[in-house]
Amino acid sequence: MQPTERTQVRRLPERGHYDRETINAVLDAGFLCHLGFIHEGRPVVIPTAYGREGDTLYVHGSAASRTQRALAEGIDLCITVTHLDGLVLARSGFHSSMNYRSAVIFGKGKQILEDERKAHAMAVVSEQIFAGRWAEIRPPSPQELKGTSVLEVPIVEASAKIRTGPPKDDEEDYAMTVWAGVVPVKHGWGEPIPDSRLPKGIPVPEYVKKFRW
């Protein structure tokens, strides 16, 4: 997509990406976003779960959807997804950095009102984390649907920002004897902890076993 005034990466523009494939890859690698919105004239950022389906992002958004505006024309959101891949130890503070992949989506978030569409959006968010689980758990009751707020945001104005590789130091600093390089970040999952009230003999599902960052 075309970068807009907002999505154009200004600082270090070589890190900016605007193609849908790159943006989707960053979104699909995660399930936790930081949702930004304006509440009473001031910025608010909350961590929340999301799911992508085609050109739509669904986010849990109880805090963001308090206002009546969210029901009508939608409220301005900024949804940011960040994957930290490594710490970049350069020979100077200025060139010290992080390796990361991030995506930023700007858009109007509209609250989903119809029960059926809301249940579908909840399924998309759930499947983003554990694909296959939604069909196994109890579907939401009418009260639960009422008590859950899901916002839908079209992925129209978006960008990704990616840094990879070693530090890029000033030429004269390469002679320094301080250690420099990259410390990779590893994300993973520990041994699943079965609930104490789980009936005996229920195995850990495949979608948990194969879940790896």
C-beta of 113 vs 175, nearer to a copy of itself: 175
Interface with a copy of itself: number of residues (CB under 8 A)? 92
Token digits of residue 23: 């943006």
Alpha carbon distance 132, 110 (integer Å): 27
Q: Which is nearer to a copy of itself, 25 or 38 (CB)?
A: 38
For 65, counting Cβ atoms within 10 Å of its Cβ (0-12 exposed, 13-18 middle, 19+ buried), the class is buried
Residue of the chain from 90, 112, 151, 162 that contacts a copy of itself (CB under 8 A): 90
Position 199 contacts a copy of itself (CB under 8 A): yes
Q: Does 208 bind a copy of itself (CB under 8 A)?
A: yes
Rule CB under 8 A: is residue 136 a binding residue for a copy of itself?
A: yes
Selected from 36, 56, 67, 120, the binder of a copy of itself by CB under 8 A is 36
In this structure, what DSSP letter does residue 146 have? H
156-175 residues in contact with a copy of itself (CB under 8 A) are: 166-167, 173-175
Query: Which of 148, 179, 176, 152 lies closest to 166 in space, CA to CA?
Result: 179
Q: How far apart are CA 56 and CA 59, in angstroms?
A: 10
Least distance (Å) from a copy of itself to the CB of residue 115?
13
CA distance 134 to 132: 6
When asked if residue 137 is in the footprint of a copy of itself (CB under 8 A), the reply is yes
